[in-house]
Amino acid sequence: MNRLKTGIAYFVRNRDHKRVEQDLLDIKNRGCTYVVHFMTEFDTVFFPESVKEICQVTRDLGLEVYLDPWGLGGFICSKYSLFPLDRPEECQVLSDGSPLMQACPNSEVFVEHTERWLDKAAEVKAQYIFWDEPHLFFDNNTKGATPRWACRCSRCQEQFAAMYGHTMPVEPTSDVYEFRQETLYRFFNRVTAMAHERGLKNSLCLLPLRSDEHGFSDWDRFCSLPHVDIFGTDPYWYFVDAEPKQYVTPYTKRVLDLCQKHGKEPHIWLQGFRVPKDQEHEIAIAGLTVYELGIRNIAVWVDKYGTGDNNASANPERVWTVTGDLYRFLHNLGE
């Protein structure tokens, strides 16, 4: 049985070394074995030394460092990226011809930009890169009209025509869906190899949507990527007002099956943000469920040290207590 790994995201920016140490000591005492830190493009401009120091303090406390390129290019989790401001011509174009301020994964300039980010990740001595919810834009809220999707830039159109022998349609046909998936597959094949060359491991987390719209209907293929070490998803049940055990179980089983097939480490995120009042205990229900199914790499996003006021739970301290109690309970089970 693999050693239990328990993680938390840490989103605080603080240049006070002692305050960082205090937070991370609290994180360690709650039973975490790793921390997901962020290095946004904004951080690389304004906080490069702070990120380095936060990672250093984390390692010094014996915690592992996962680094999240949150927002990189605007299609890895958050849409807020600096890259489009500098290189709009390397960005995606919607099917109706409108510009989308998100990097095109088929842009060589953006792949190079990602490689430079990975250089910085290696400099701050991250151990894992956490590729967080990548997805392609799809808008089916168009009231009966053809859905708008990306990317249909000149690069993508050219590559599509070479692959299929006809012009890239404006409608999202099966060829379009296949091409978009291929786009993301090729991008992650390249960037995970680049991370590997720098001594970094790769953790890929896909949205709990196995649809063509977001470019990830074939999870098997992404799990099989040679340099993906950890593969998982984040089935956030409060978002859809679901019962936690019922909601997380099928996604967890799917992840476990694929990881067993491809020899990868399975990973599941639990929802610790926007947790409604008096429902905090559901985090423990979901955590025990995924543990019983066989997951040994569990993380909570987030609360307390989390992502912005918009994602705050009704009672962040209570969420943090439930998370810590869950982690310590699971570690005691394994002893």
Residues that bind Zn ion (CB under 5 A): 104, 106, 151, 153, 155-156
In the complex, the smallest distance separating the C-beta of residue 84 from Zn ion, rounded to whole angstroms, is 13
Residue closer to Zn ion by CB (options 88, 199) is 88
Q: Is-contact 184 110, C-beta < 8 A? A: no
| DSSP string across 195-251 | HHHTT-EEEEEE-S---TTTT-S-HHHHHT-TT--EEEE---TGGGT--HHHHHHHH
Q: Least distance to Zn ion from the beta carbon of 113, Å? A: 15
Which one-letter amino acid corresponds to residue 100? L
- Shortest reach from residue 24's CB to Zn ion, in Å: 40
In the complex with Zn ion, the residue whose CB is nearer, 155 or 264, is 155
150 or 228, CB closer to Zn ion?
150
Give least dist CB 97 to Zn ion, A: 13
Q: In this complex, which beta carbon is closest to Zn ion, that of residue 179 or of residue 237?
A: 179
Q: What are the DSSP calls for 137-202, one per residue?
A: -EE--STTSPPEEB--SHHHHHHHHHHHSSPPPSS--HHHHHHHHHHHHHHHHHHHHHHHHTT-EE
Q: Which is nearer to Zn ion, 104 or 259 (CB)?
A: 104
Chain position carrying tokens 């025509």: 161
> Minimal distance in Å, beta carbon 68 to Zn ion?
24
Distance CA 29, CA 328 (A): 9
Residue number, 151 or 204, with CB nearest to Zn ion: 151
In the complex, the smallest distance separating the C-beta of residue 153 from Zn ion, rounded to whole angstroms, is 3
- Burial (CB < 10 A; 0-12, 13-18, 19+), residue 63, is buried
N-to-C CA span, the chain? 12
